Amino acid sequence: MPTILNPYLNFRDNAREALNFYQSVFGGDLRVSTFGDYQASEDPAEADKIMHGMLTTPQGLVLMGADTPNSMEYREGSAISISLSGEDEAELRGYYDKLSGDGGSVTVPMEKSPWGDVFGMCKDRYGIGWLVNVNAAQGTTGAP
């Protein structure tokens, strides 16, 4: 599987509504996971928020999105991250290291995630958020 570059939209509390809208526009298969599905938030009020949503269309378009937890900053206008996923861990770690280095910052260290993949988040020197996911096995959706 080659490395894939996908847009990843961030919302404060309406990712489910937005992703359902995009599905009505583009069609396709929408899969969502909540913070509660992975016990990923200590705030019970966030259990039903979308931790990861992925819309895949018959035309091959992929759009991802999530709600921003209350513990993380959300600013209108900076509501997009870029997601890289694939199976080549060395390649993906290399991208992560370059993006988070030289003026960038680590948001989530690259390590094994609750869903089994190796996952990390960082911001580059320009403030762009990046999500990097190394699929644990073929057929993995790259969630989140």
* Amino acid in position 25: V
* Amino acid in position 104: G
Tell me the pTM: 0.69
Place of tokens 């991208």: 95
Q: Is residue 57 part of a domain?
A: yes
Using CA atoms, how far apart are residues 104 and 12, in angstroms rounded to an integer?
24
Mean pLDDT of the chain: 88
The average pLDDT across 83-103 equals 92
Enclosing domain of residue 25: 4-69+77-134
Q: Is residue 144 part of a domain?
A: no
Give the CATH number of the domain where residue 37 resides.
3.10.180.10
Using CA atoms, how far apart are residues 82 and 3, in angstroms rounded to an integer?
13
Q: Is residue 98 part of a domain?
A: yes
Given a cut of 90, is residue 74 above it in pLDDT? no
Q: Is residue 142 part of a domain?
A: no
Structural domain total, the chain? 1
Q: Is residue 139 part of a domain?
A: no
Are 115 and 123 spatial neighbours (Cβ–Cβ below 8 Å)? no
Given a cut of 60, is residue 77 above it in pLDDT? no
Note the pLDDT tens digit of each residue in 8-62.
888 889 999 999 999 998 899 999 999 999 888 788 889 999 999 999 999 888 9
The average pLDDT across 126-136 equals 90
Q: What is the CA radius of gyration of the chain?
A: 15
Place of tokens 């759009």: 63
The token pair that represents 70 in the structure block: 């209350």
The average pLDDT across 77-96 equals 86
DSSP strand pairing (118-123 vs 105-112):
antiparallel
Task: Give the Å distances, CA to CA, from 88 to 49, 94, 100.
Answer: 30, 10, 18
